[in-house]
Chains A and B, each alone.
Chain A
Amino acid sequence: MNGVSAVMRRELRSYFSTPLAYVFIVIFLVLSGWFTFNFGNFYNGGQASLAPFFNYHPWLYLFLVPALSMRLWAEERKTGTIELLLTLPLEMWESVTGKFLASWLFTSMALFLTFPIWITVNYLGDPDNGVILAAYMGSLLMAGGFLAVGSFISATTNNQVIAFILTVVVCFVFLLAGFQPMLSPLVGWVPQTIIDSIASLSFLTHFSSISKGVIDLRDIVYFALLISTFLYANVLVLNMKRGE
């Protein structure tokens, strides 16, 4: 039995043995539908596409994913179960990966449950299902990025509220890194190459190209690197806390 899967299955199980899982899924489905139909001009747009649906995912994730990730480590630290978990014969990366995968798998379940909207659009018209599949993939990758950031921040504190707020702020910065209001304070005194590389860290630019059906290896590598960097930082933080 693999350590990662033991941690992952325990974590997933605990989502479903508390109201957390159901509340999260219901809110996610209701909000994503509401955004799509009210703001996305799903009907009036006159196009058989799920763009109005996917466009709001980054903003949904901005508040929902930190609510999911805030408890990952902060709660264990608060209740003392972290002492139990970290004295089991597991490598630190196994625990970190197991917990991250559980939360990612859970978000993908929530995402999967949006399938009625895919059925709807196929019933109403003749959308490009390849683009839709790519957009689902992009959305999932972006959720993974949010979760990795959130997991890392959760490991730094035992206060879930602090973890939530910090994660929202950091993810907000990541979302908008490519946009003028974020970059304008830097223009003029920071070299253009640095501004460009900050801009290239934006979740939104990478997500929007995937969600248009353009699967560029660079976008996938971007999210993979983002996730692994933050999980690695997560391991480092936990190890640092042992020495404190």
Chain B
Amino acid sequence: MINCKALTKKYGNFVAVNELTFQVQAGEVLGFLGPNGAGKTTTMRILAGFLSPTAGKASVCGFDVETQSTEAKRKIGYLPEGAPSYPEMTSRSFLEFIADSRKISISNRQRRLEEVHELLQLGTVLDQKIDTLSKGFRRRVGLAQAILHDPEVLILDEPTDGLDPNQKHEVRRLINRMSERKIIIISTHLLEEVDAVCNRAIIISDGKILADDSPKNLESKSKFHNAVSVKLLNSMNLNIVDSAINSLPEVASTRIDENNNSLIAFPTKGKTPLEAITKLGAAEGWDFSELHVESGRLDEVFRSITGGTAR
């Protein structure tokens, strides 16, 4: 379990992390979301033991990150932002160094090394110097380093940054596979990543928690939640359909997109306008080319919570 109590980090007068309090249990995959400079990386650095907090406490698996830092670090696998590694080393000797520093027992060492080589498909680049590797491979070496000792807690700062879509998919699958028994905290800018791997999301901005919920619940805060997206055949007049839909009691407002001959109908609070729109369309003889319910848009929730203007 990870336990943060009023965790605060100040740089001079600048407050990077402002009294963060949260807990994470095993089995949770927590996504840290927030604009750049929100305090995500600072929080992760404190948990990993790289920075000490100005005030407050944090513990990992019962070990205080300040007073029992070595014990806490043993429980953690950490991928720092940008996945730094020693450029002059080969991937193999780099991972062997990690195994030695983490004091992985001789009997486990070879097996674990082979497992992570396999898991992250490093086989072809093991004897290549890290500074000759592509960004994607460097990131994977960084991930391999973090999971080498099969830690109870994984802290990954932007784990898929710089990966191509296939590699992103692979890394997300890896995270999903490991998530059952572990605590995983990832930070990301990519909201689709939260949907793909997280079962909990914390949105922070200016060092404060603004939202802490499951991605599903966060989406339902979106004004797109239960909105109905309607696309018409080109022969149909969008404006007539728009004003008809707008007059339905279930619909609060609409937004039209003339280029696509489509519109989105936002529901009045607590209503689901799909059925009413379908009935109306059938009665009026409209030709839909597309009709579906929106589940909500995380990026819109994110922007409205963190102070950006919603679309």
* Contact A10/B74 with A18-B88, A86-B49 known, Cβ cut-off 8 Å: no
Q: Tell me whether A225 is interfacial, beta carbon within 8 Å.
A: no
Contact present for A14 and B88 (CB under 8 Å): yes
Q: Tell me whether B14 is interfacial, beta carbon within 8 Å.
A: no
Contact present for B48 and A87 (CB under 8 Å): yes
* Contact A13/B89 with A84-B80, A88-B102 known, Cβ cut-off 8 Å: yes
Contact present for B70 and A91 (CB under 8 Å): yes
Interface centre among B71, B87, B101, B129 (most CB of A within 10 A): B101
- Which of B24-32, B92-100, B202-210 faces chain A? B92-100
* Contact A6/B80 with A84-B145, A242-B51 known, Cβ cut-off 8 Å: no
In chain B, what residue has the closest Cβ to A95? B101
* Contact A242/B52 with A13-B89, A89-B102 known, Cβ cut-off 8 Å: yes
Contact present for A3 and B50 (CB under 8 Å): no
A contact residues around B100 at 8 Å (CB): 1, 5-6, 9-10
- Which of A75-83, A121-129, A133-141 faces chain B? A75-83
How distant is B65 from chain A, measured CB to nearest CB, in Å?
10
How distant is B46 from chain A, measured CB to nearest CB, in Å?
9
Q: Tell me whether B57 is interfacial, beta carbon within 8 Å.
A: no
Q: Tell me whether A184 is interfacial, beta carbon within 8 Å.
A: no
B contact residues around A3 at 8 Å (CB): 101, 103
- The complex places the Cα of A17 from the Cα of B49 at a distance, in Å, of 30
Q: What 0/1 pattern do residues 70 to 89 of B give for CB contact below 8 A with A?
A: 11011010101110111111
- The complex places the Cα of A90 from the Cα of B82 at a distance, in Å, of 22
* Contact A87/B76 with A7-B101, A10-B97 known, Cβ cut-off 8 Å: yes
B contact residues around A242 at 8 Å (CB): 50-52
A contact residues around B81 at 8 Å (CB): 80
How distant is A179 from chain B, measured CB to nearest CB, in Å?
41
In chain A, what residue has the closest Cβ to B70? A89
Within 8 A of B (CB), among A218-244: 242-244
Within 8 A of A (CB), among B92-146: 93, 97-98, 100-103, 129, 145
The tally of CB-CB contacts under 8 A between chains A and B is 74
In chain B, what residue has the closest Cβ to A243? B52
B contact residues around A89 at 8 Å (CB): 70-71, 73-74, 101-103
B contact residues around A81 at 8 Å (CB): 84-86
Q: Give the interface residue-count category, chain B.
A: 20 to 34
How distant is B108 from chain A, measured CB to nearest CB, in Å?
12
Within 8 A of A (CB), among B44-58: 45, 48-52, 54
A contact residues around B54 at 8 Å (CB): 243
How distant is B139 from chain A, measured CB to nearest CB, in Å?
13
B contact residues around A243 at 8 Å (CB): 51-52, 54
A-B pairs with lowest CB-CB distance, top 4: A80-B84, A6-B100, A89-B73, A83-B80
- A-to-B contact residues, CB < 8 Å: 1, 3, 5-7, 9-10, 13-14, 17-18, 79-81, 83-84, 86-91, 242-244
- B-to-A contact residues, CB < 8 Å: 11, 45, 48-52, 54, 70-71, 73-74, 76, 78, 80-82, 84-89, 93, 97-98, 100-103, 129, 145
Offer 26 A-B interface pairs, CB within 8 angstroms, sorted by A. Answer: A1-B103, A3-B101, A3-B103, A7-B101, A10-B100, A13-B89, A14-B89, A17-B88, A79-B84, A80-B84, A81-B85, A83-B48, A83-B84, A84-B85, A86-B49, A87-B48, A87-B73, A87-B76, A88-B98, A88-B102, A89-B73, A89-B74, A89-B101, A242-B52, A243-B51, A243-B52
New contact pairs (19) apart from A84-B145, A87-B48, CB-CB < 8 Å = A3-B101, A6-B97, A7-B101, A9-B97, A10-B89, A17-B129, A79-B84, A80-B80, A81-B86, A83-B80, A86-B49, A87-B49, A89-B71, A89-B101, A90-B70, A91-B70, A242-B51, A243-B51, A243-B52
